[in-house]
Structure 1
Amino acid sequence: MSFKPEKADHAAVDEFLENVLDTYKAGDADRATCVGVIAHAMVAAAIGNETEFKNYIRLPGETLFEGV
């Protein structure tokens, strides 16, 4: 099952990626962790889990890395 992202989702993806890249640049997470965070969102979208995708990309930056 697929879904069509809305305009707000595109903005949220931009902010999500900026958060991940800024965290990496600051040295607060290593490359593998950042790849895992991005992969989580990609897989949620790929399998059509719209709720997980939309919620995950909107998590605050520091929350994205909890428990990783």
Structure 2
Amino acid sequence: MIVSPYSSACYNFKRTVNGEKEKITVIIVPIKIEENGKTAKISWACSMGQECAFLDCRYAHKKPE
């Protein structure tokens, strides 16, 4: 198995919870790989996750203040 980062367009990036959505380019990267026999669990992260406030995104870390 080859796992590598990839770039993608994000159409839902928000700098603040009440802000407007923007289209930006992000990098999705593998941050953890757990192997269990013939299966593997891969955890991913977004390069802009720390800056994103889009509440429905699994990678976004900003929360309402």
Same fold (TM over 0.5): no
Calculate the TM-score normalised by the size of structure 2. Answer: 0.26
Calculate the TM-score normalised by the size of structure 1. Answer: 0.25
Higher relative contact order (CA 8 A, sep 6+): 1
Structure possessing the higher radius of gyration over alpha carbons: 2
Q: Which has the larger share of strand?
A: 2
Q: Which has the larger share of helix?
A: 1
